[in-house]
Amino acid sequence: MLSHSLDVDKLLSIEAINCSIERLQRAMSFSVIGQADGCDKGDSALHTAIEYKDEGNAHFQRASYLAAALSWSRGLRIEPNNDLLLLNRSLGYLKIEWYEAALRDSEAVLARCSTAEHVAKAGSRAAWAEYGLGQYKNALQRFELYDGILPLTQWISRCKQRIREQSTGDYKWATLFKEWQVKYRKDSIPIPRLDIADYIGPVEVRAMDSRGGGRGVVATRDIKSGELLVMSKPFTSAYPSELSPRGHLLYKAGSLHVVRTCKDMLTPKVVEKIIGRPECAALVMNLYPGAGFPSPANTYSLSPITSPLEVPLHVDGNLDIAHINAIIDFNCFAANSIREAEFTKTIDAHEPAALHLLPSLFNHACFTNTVRYSLGDAMVMRANQDICCGTELTTAYAGGGNHLTRAQSLTRLLGHELCNCKLCTLDRADGDEACRKREKILLEYERTKEGLNRSKVPLSSVGFENNYKCHIDAIENTYAPERGYLRPATFLLHLGLAQTYMERAAENYDISLYDKARISIFACLAAVGVVRKQTLIGNGTYIPIASDNLPCTGAHEDAVICMAQVAMTYHCQGKRLEAQEWVRAANWLHAACRGGDVTFFDARFNGFLREINPGLLELFRT
């Protein structure tokens, strides 16, 4: 079924498009001319191209860019070779990110126009369109060609930086982080976008015979832990501030539905983008849609159609909204950007959502060999361990608990297949009864902790200490003796016990308690896979952890914070060299799982280090 999405607020703001919801739902042609024809009936038609140009200009001044493009398209029906209308429409298309159509309009002017001013405008707009399409080398050539006529130096510099990013994966991590922190607010409209290039590292999409079919992503060479694999800009994304208070209307399954979450909003956004850039339709429609739809091919092209479309803004065939909904359901990612490090994490009920292309082709594992996070509106994926050439790369789509508590999510993702990752294999070896008992113990721990908090028992009290110790022992007994150190259910309990000792040490001025705190933090780190080992990292410097394995899924940020706290315990005991060693480890782990250098770590952990101990900040910087 074909449907069209409607943003009620935007619809009401476009005065010239006086079409009812029902008529827009029935619109079957997505070309600009087709949309205009669908809305002409009942409108008071203008009679000259210049009048349509003026009407479009008025819409453009009000930032109603689609309405402006429609008006200029009507004018072009009267005067198809009017260069001013083509130039205006190309700018309108650029504003709504319909880059292929903008490029075609600009090239039409370049092909026949000899007026220097018009040629320069058309050339620069063609360059901006190619920049938006990610064709940075072509854009650079165009910008350089017209730089003497228009002020394009900044865009030349941007193109060169994008080309470096695209070819090397060399990003200004701290700068990007600070830029997003400054520009993005929960009420931001429009949403700021990071100006970066996509990067594809030593990975490729292959048919996965080892899985019995389908496709996946594999390493094309040996990869070291922490190496950048993918930097992905979203195909589209949605943020809470974009949700209308009155909701957005989406037509599907024969009726109108109100869209109220960011994930739901991705469907109309995908449709809108395909309408404007139909060459990208296959990129979305070839993603995995789950059962009930034809399986996608075992191959996947990461590039849209590059040859010019015969008819820009024309979608061949129907857009199946149910199919798009299913694709989003299986491939949507949360898009909360990393922030400055903090003790307390807040959960946003209306978290941003994004649809990414290459990251969606990574298959699931609960214990992954990659780590991913959002930086602004982009997704970063890095190696979580040393990886051999030809190894499949995985990411987690279900997390928390054990293989039983993840069962519903895993069944939905994998059907009747078992997840054979390291974590699920260890959980199955422990036995189902042990896993169920483990979850009950964790629930009992939470209830006891809540009771202590309600009674305003101090964190440094013996009551908290005994609560942590009791439940740590109980959970440890649910693990098989041969399981090894990977016991993630104990992570937060060991961390809580360490906090109790550190609070008591500060209250009683007893620095010997930091020894106990450290033992608990070491147990905490071991529980998520961090191995303590003197490791040479270059320039004759060592870190006290192994560098070939990063923490297991979801624990990277907490592990960095734990290492900073180990440094704090040594610092409070006057053991400067040991403290420096663990600050260095925290910085190394942050660089491995988040990227960047010391400036990125400083941007994120400056406030945190100052909060737990001002002396740590000085120690870090020296």
Whichever domain contains 93, its CATH number is: 1.25.40.10
Whether 37 is covered by a domain: the verdict is no
- Characterize 37-52 residue by residue with b for buried, 16 or more Cβ atoms within 10 angstroms of its Cβ, and e for exposed: ebbeeeeeebeebeeb
Least confident of 129-133, 272-276, 572-576, 612-616: 612-616
Q: Domain for residue 26, yes or no?
A: no
Please check whether residues 392 and 463 belong to one and the same domain.
no
What's the predicted TM-score (pTM) here? 0.87
Q: Which run of H or E residues covers position 154?
A: helix 153-168
pLDDT (tens digit, 9 = 90+) per residue, 333-345? 988 888 876 544 4
Distance CA 484, CA 526 (A): 10
Looking at residue 247, what is its pLDDT?
57
For the purposes of burial, counting CB atoms within 10 Å of the CB of 155, is it exposed (0-12), middle (13-18) or buried (19 or more)?
A: buried
Q: Is the pLDDT score of 185 beyond 70?
A: yes
Determine the average pLDDT of the residues in 6-27: 29
Q: Are residues 525 and 540 in the same domain?
A: yes
Q: What is the mean pLDDT of residues 408-430?
A: 79
Task: Tokens 């979850």: give the residue.
Answer: 439
Interstrand relation of 392-395 and 363-364 (parallel, antiparallel or unpaired): parallel
Domain boundary among 130, 158, 186: 158
Q: Are residues 150 and 208 in the same domain?
A: no
Return the number of other C-beta atoms located less than 10 Å from residue 387's C-beta: 24
Residues in the chain, overall count: 622
- Please tell me the least confidently modeled range out of 12-16, 337-341, 404-408, 500-504: 12-16
Same domain, 429 and 392: no
| Residues 6 or more apart in contact with residue 161 via CB below 8 angstroms | none
Write the DSSP symbol of residue 240: G
Report d(CA 609, CA 602) in Å as an integer: 9
pLDDT reported for residue 211: 73
Q: Which are the contacts of 358, defined by CB distance < 8 A and separation ≥ 6?
A: 200, 203, 205, 217, 230, 232, 302
The answer as to whether 36 is a domain residue is: no
Average pLDDT for residues 386-401, to the nearest whole number?
Answer: 88
- What is the model's pLDDT at position 537? 87
Residue 223: both structure tokens together: 């990869």
CATH of the domain at 218: 2.170.270.10
**Single-letter residue type at 622:** T
My answer on whether 565 and 432 are in the same domain is: yes
Query: In the prediction, which pLDDT does 34 show?
Result: 34
CA 431 from chain centre, in angstroms, equals: 35
User: Lowest-confidence range among 4-18, 420-434, 515-529, 570-584?
Assistant: 4-18
Residue with the bigger pLDDT between 1 and 113: it is 113
Asked if 154 and 207 sit in the same domain, the reply is no
Higher pLDDT, 467 or 47: 467
**AA identity, residue 5:** S
Is the pLDDT at 607 greater than 60, yes or no?
yes
Convert the pLDDT of each residue in 56-79 to its tens digit: 999 999 999 989 999 999 999 999
> Do 286 and 272 share a structural domain?
yes
Percent of all residues in the chain with a pLDDT value above 70, rounded to a whole number = 83
Q: Report the alpha-carbon distance of residue 313 to residue 575 in Å, rounded.
A: 66
- Beta-bridge partners for 6: 249
- For residue 343, which of 557, 44, 505 has the smallest C-alpha distance? 557
Domain that holds residue 216: 173-343+353-420
pLDDT digits (tens, 9 = 90+) for 212-271: 678 999 999 999 999 999 999 999 999 988 887 665 555 554 455 666 788 888 988 998
Q: Is residue 80 assigned to a domain?
A: yes
Angle at 375 between CA 373 and CA 377, to 5 degrees: 110
Question: Are residues 414 and 432 located together in one domain of the fold?
Answer: no
**CA-CA distance, 558 to 551, in Å (whole number)?**
9
Q: Does pLDDT of 16 surpass 50?
A: no
Kind plus residue range of the DSSP H or E element containing 581: helix 576-594
- Does 335 lie in the same domain as 361? yes
Q: What is the pLDDT of residue 256?
A: 58
| Same domain for 260 and 380 | yes
Number of domains in the chain: 3
Verify that 147 and 267 share a domain, yes or no: no
